[in-house]
């Protein structure tokens, strides 16, 4: 490949790069070397790829044929979630990093990434154990937004989104437990789909968890094609090409609700309001029935927060248990960040775990709340909201070296207000880059669909991106 052709790769999506390999116009090794060069040249400004294993990636590229769907496409694993055997897995935790912990085996999703030909170059940055809405782990330092490096990239898939938006790789592994795909996708100007619960193959299938794993991408066609490839085998066999074909299938007339009010009561920034207003106006022009309405359950934030304060520490303590298992020793506050230790109730010996009957009441209330959200979609097909109530904030406003854990949490919660409910219900939701702020920062609009209605979401997303997406601008920091 010529130098110009290697530079052009930074602007090609995963589908286009895979086609080069399939036609014999580029080799997997050439794509891998070009991506390595981009990371080495650009990532110093971003801090998106702190864990790199380029030699291993080149060996994998050399061993690939040309038949896999994404053969030779450069890729990053998030440093939390799915794993591939032998690769570093630190979860942005200093103790695991210092022990050079390695994944003992592929997880199901990690194995599938290999099967479809993706070449993993390294791990993208994430907050420790993926627990914050911005990516600033103390072990690595901040990940910066490629549109403006003084701004936050978001989290917890902030490293993945910054890397894809800046052209380092065309697609990257991501996960979403309360908005961790959609928040950074909104702030970095990407397509960010959170699939329905268990839509994508993974190690916790059938457990009813709020978190899901998938990818972040620059193009809708990559999103659809990878959703096709990452489904369980029986679903792929029964419905081949299901989501790619949805891109060419105009959706039926939908009943659409929208809201501009944040569930936490925070002020929604003008650019985010304008993006939603333009979106619902376009939906009406396309023949969909649009009405300003949303589930009443979204307004029950104070109760949600009360019961969440009982259930939340259970998840934090799971992280501590996992860390003890991986280190094979007892752990203490020096092994994790203050944010995790404090909210796992481990920093204060007088804090007692919530009583079992309180936990049962919290679970029962949460289940009723989730049911009421799902019931709303019996009378409406689609809900449109801002993805986040503001564009990417100044990165210093989320500095974990300056803010105590409670201050960090208070700043995070408004960012998750529009996204977290759909993790609880397991519904699909997608953030589309359909607006911009007065400063020229990307603004995402979120579409929430009925359970397992990804095909419908993708079909409507095609229409909206065609009509409303900004011209193909590049971030300030780009390969």
Q: What is the pLDDT of residues 193-205, one digit of tens each?
A: 999 999 999 999 9
In a domain, 475, yes or no: no
The reported pLDDT for the residue numbered 354 is 60
The whole-angstrom separation of Cα 167 and Cα 43 is 10
For the segment 276-280, the average pLDDT, to the nearest whole number, is 98
Q: How many domains does the chain have?
A: 2
Q: For residue 324, count other CB atoms closer than 10 A to its CB.
A: 13
One DSSP character per residue, 302-320 reads HHHHHHHHHHHHHHHHHHH
What CATH number should be reported for the domain holding residue 70? 3.90.1300.10
> pTM of the entire structure?
0.96
C-alpha to C-alpha distance for 184 and 191, rounded to whole angstroms: 10
Residue 330 in this model has a pLDDT that exceeds 50: yes
340 and 280 in a common domain? no
Task: Tell whether 397 and 447 lie within a shared domain.
Answer: yes
Q: Which two tokens stand for residue 265?
A: 């009561």
By percentage, how much of the chain surpasses pLDDT 90?
90
Is 135 part of a structural domain of the chain? Answer: yes
Same domain, 245 and 184: yes
Nearest in space to 456 (alpha carbons), one of 309, 310, 202, 250: 250
Cis peptide bond upstream of 258, omega within 30: no
CA 171, 388, 243, 249 dihedral sign is: negative
Query: Is residue 335 domain-resident?
Result: yes
Q: Both 350 and 249 in a single domain?
A: no
* Spatial separation of the C-alpha atoms in residues 200 and 231, rounded to whole Å: 5
The residues carrying an active-site annotation are 78, 156, 180
| 123 in the same domain as 15 | yes
The Cα 340–Cα 333 span in angstroms is 9
Same domain, 81 and 155: yes
Tell me whether residue 99 is exposed, middle or buried, using C-beta atoms within 10 angstroms of its C-beta: 0 to 12, 13 to 18, 19 or more: middle
Domain of residue 323, residue span: 301-358
Structure tokens at 75: 């890729």
User: Which domain-ending residue is among 358, 378, 395?
Assistant: 358
* Burial (CB count <10 Å: 0-12, 13-18, 19+), residue 325: exposed
Q: Are residues 276 and 335 in the same domain?
A: no
Query: What tokens does 348 get?
Result: 């204060």
424 and 289 within one domain: yes
293 and 175 in a common domain: yes
Could you tell me if 151 and 74 lie in one domain?
Answer: yes
Residue 8 covered by a domain: yes
The answer to the question of residue 451 being in a domain is yes
Domain finish residue from 338, 358, 378: 358
Q: Is residue 224 part of a domain?
A: yes
Residue 223 lies in a domain: yes
Q: Is 16 helix (H, G, I), strand (E, B) or coil?
A: helix
Answer yes or no: is 146 within a domain: yes
246-257 residue pLDDT tens: 999 999 999 999
pLDDT in tens, 49-105: 999 999 999 999 999 999 999 999 999 999 999 999 999 999 999 999 999 999 999
Report which of residues 310 and 28 the model is more confident about.
Answer: 28
Q: Are 230 and 315 members of one domain?
A: no
**β-strand partners of 446:** 385, 431
Taking the C-alpha atoms of residue 447 and residue 288, their distance in angstroms, rounded to an integer, is 14
Based on the fold, state whether residues 207 and 347 are members of the same structural domain.
Answer: no
**Nearest partner of 348 among 297, 305, 313, 383, judged by Cα:** 313
The tens digit of pLDDT for each residue in 227-236 reads 999 999 999 9
Q: Report the alpha-carbon distance of residue 239 to residue 142 in Å, rounded.
A: 41
């Amino acid at each position: 490949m010529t130098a110009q052709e290697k530079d052009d790769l930074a602007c090609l999506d995963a589908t286009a790069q895979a086609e080069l390999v399939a036609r014999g116009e580029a080799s997997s090794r050439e794509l891998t070397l070009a991506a390595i060069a981009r990371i080495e040249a650009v990532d110093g400004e971003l801090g998106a790829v702190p864990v790199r294993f380029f030699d291993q990636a080149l060996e994998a590229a050399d061993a690939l044929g040309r038949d896999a769907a994404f053969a030779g496409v450069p890729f990053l694993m998030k440093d939390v979630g799915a794993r591939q055997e032998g690769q570093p897995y630190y979860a942005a935790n200093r103790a695991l990093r210092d022990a050079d912990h390695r994944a003992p085996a592929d997880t199901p999703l990690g194995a599938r990434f290999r099967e479809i030909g993706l070449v993993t170059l390294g791990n993208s940055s994430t907050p420790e154990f993926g627990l914050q809405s911005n990516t600033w782990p103390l072990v690595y330092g901040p990940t910066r937004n490629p549109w403006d490096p003084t701004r936050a990239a978001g989290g917890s898939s902030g490293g993945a989104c910054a890397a894809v938006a800046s052209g380092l790789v065309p697609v990257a592994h991501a996960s979403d437990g309360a908005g961790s795909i959609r928040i950074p996708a909104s702030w970095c100007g990407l397509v960010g789909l959170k699939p329905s619960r268990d839509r994508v193959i993974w190690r916790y299938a059938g457990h009813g968890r709020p978190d899901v794993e998938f990818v972040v991408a620059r193009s809708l066609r990559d999103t659809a094609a990878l959703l096709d490839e990452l489904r369980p085998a029986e679903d792929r066999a029964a419905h081949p090409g299901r989501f790619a074909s949805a891109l060419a299938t105009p959706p039926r007339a939908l009943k659409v609700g929208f809201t501009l009010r944040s569930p936490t009561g925070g002020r929604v920034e003008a650019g985010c309001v304008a993006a939603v207003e333009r979106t619902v106006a376009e939906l009406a022009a396309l023949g969909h029935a649009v009405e300003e309405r949303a589930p009443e359950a979204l307004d029950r934030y104070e109760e949600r927060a009360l019961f969440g304060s009982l259930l939340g520490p259970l998840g934090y303590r799971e992280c501590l248990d996992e860390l003890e298992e991986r280190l094979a020793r007892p752990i203490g506050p020096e092994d994790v960040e203050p944010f995790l230790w404090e909210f796992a109730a481990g920093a204060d010996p007088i804090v007692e775990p919530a009583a079992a009957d309180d936990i049962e009441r919290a679970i029962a209330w949460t289940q009723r709340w989730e049911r009421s959200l799902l019931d709303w979609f019996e009378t409406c097909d689609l809900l449109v909201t801002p993805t986040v109530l503001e564009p990417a904030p100044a990165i210093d406003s989320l500095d974990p070296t300056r803010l105590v854990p409670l201050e960090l949490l208070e700043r995070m919660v408004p960012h998750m207000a529009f996204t977290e409910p759909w993790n609880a219900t397991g519904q699909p939701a997608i953030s589309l880059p359909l607006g911009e702020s007065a400063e020229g920062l990307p603004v995402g609009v979120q579409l929430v669909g009925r359970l397992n209605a990804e095909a419908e979401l993708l079909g409507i997303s095609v229409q909206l991106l065609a009509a409303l997406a900004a011209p193909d601008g590049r971030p300030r920091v780009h390969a």
